[in-house]
Structure 1
Amino acid sequence: MATFEITISDEKIQELLHGDRGMASLLEPILNQILQAEMTDHLGASPEERTDDRQGYRNGSYKRQLTTRVGRLELEVPRDREGTFRTELFERYQRSEKALVLALMQMVVQGVSTRRVKEITTELCGREFSKSTVSRLSKDLDEQVEAWASRSLEEQSYPFLVLDAMHLKVRRQGAVRSTTVMLAVGINEAGQREILGLETAFGETEEAWRRFIGQLKHRGLSGVEVATSDAHEGLVQALREAFPGLIWQRCQAHFRRNVLDQTPSSYRDRMHQILDQLLEASSQSDMQRRFEEVSGEIEENAPAALEVLEGGLFDATAVLALPGKYQRRLRTTNMIERFIEEIRRREKVIRIFPNLGSVERLVGALCAETHEEWSTGRRYLTMDEFFEWKELHHRDPETEETTETAPVAA
């Protein structure tokens, strides 16, 4: 979209500062100006502008309400004479909001909510909702989430894979039970991030991870060379079965916490320094040399931490095999952790999900929305150096042996 300037009148600013509508009075004119800018971009001309590039003409507008967390907004949606203008503003803005509201509404309808939840629902939406309204909204959102969750992954390969899980409280079988949500992010051969899928399970087990990864492969996930995750044994085993010979990178953030948990408090500042030196080595041989220099000191001050280091340091530095530009992006699961924080922000409002469907709806809507932003936004990585590295370190999938090949002359 073309760059445009948003202006806010003095009256609106005063209404924001002193009025009852608060942020809604500020957000309303901003969104209205965005809609007008979208129409200008669609037609190739602003109102009254004379240009040979014009693709059509305006034809008034119609009112549209948008329910947000700051209140109900009255927007003026522009029309064009041919009726070809479409805005994605409502769909993209409301998708995750609908999921949150639906989860709250279900609590009210199913009789498992508190008075406070009902108050929140009314505050968010401006009114209470009937079962038929919940059913209609649920069907519409579920179809969108299902389209995202079942899409084919065959069009591209995904050299880099990042996986993590979170746990939510869900009412099942007459009790509140912990439920696992497994998430997978891929970086495709074009260097774009995508949220590949999600899976709910009663527990984070090897079988659950195997089923989830199997479903991703069934949808076409292929070409995985590097996978980053925490050290959950079931997950690591499922990855190695699904993608023989891949490089498994143990998340350095998780590994660091594991080491520090076994470190006496009086030695933790020093352990932070040691971990920085080890994890920022130039290669695994360099890491091994540095480790040998400090292992005696660690054994004397934190013997339990030394055991964790010896058991996981090579896996936590596996990413050092890659060209330098990829190491920082792939050494942790932070990209999923940040996304999980967005889920947690909404979970704090809901606290206990009324059923598995509401979990899949809310998390799925957020996944679809974030996936759309990532896959159509700025490229996350340039992949040229990786494919050059891959050519030089070709791995035979049948023998799982790595062979060095001479670089091709220019």
Structure 2
Amino acid sequence: MSTTTDHLIEMVGGVSLARIYKGVEGADVKSMPVSPNGLSAELLEELSALAAEKAAGGGLRLMGEGGILPELAQHLMQAALEAEMDQHLAAEAGRVGGRGSRSGGNMRNGYRPKKVMTEVGTVTVQVPRDRLGTFSPRLLPRHARRTGALDELVLSLTAKGLTSGEIVAHLAEVYGMTTTKETVSTITDKVLEAMTEWRTRPLDPGRFPSVDATPE
């Protein structure tokens, strides 16, 4: 079980546990025992317990609806968002005389639900809001609906020769994710456009001097 659990974090949206814990008030990162891959022993215990609970309830699924990976992704992303909000409010409170100072009174102001497509399935997180509306999480920017890791997965499948329709079917079958051909095309087109710009960029004459190949 430990081998399976050790690999779970690596598959979940690139969320750094160290970054999450550092932002949580009262969390002592240095005192947390960690495994060789950087996971805290406490989290490994929780993951093992969650996996055992899932298995006892009728089988352990990793991907798709009811799978352990989407649930894990949701918990990690939620913890990261809470940590980011704590850091944001602390930073604003430290600005003497600013809008976010204690005199300004910026504080939490509920949540808004947001569905995010990740490479392990679609998850719903509750994004914290602040009273002044100055909080913009780096983990999930305001208009982001998918993670960068999902883009990488789509590009990998495209490179293997799958069509947009086949990729949509694959994501639905393996990850329980509902997406569209248009979304897949948007991801691939964005990368192709960037590649075209890179290929047609002007070369630095200092690094690449012109060579006259005219025969004398």
TM-score relative to the length of structure 2: 0.50
Q: Larger radius of gyration, structure 1 or 2?
A: 1
Return the structure number with greater helix share: 1
Return the structure number with greater strand share: 1
TM-score relative to the length of structure 1: 0.29
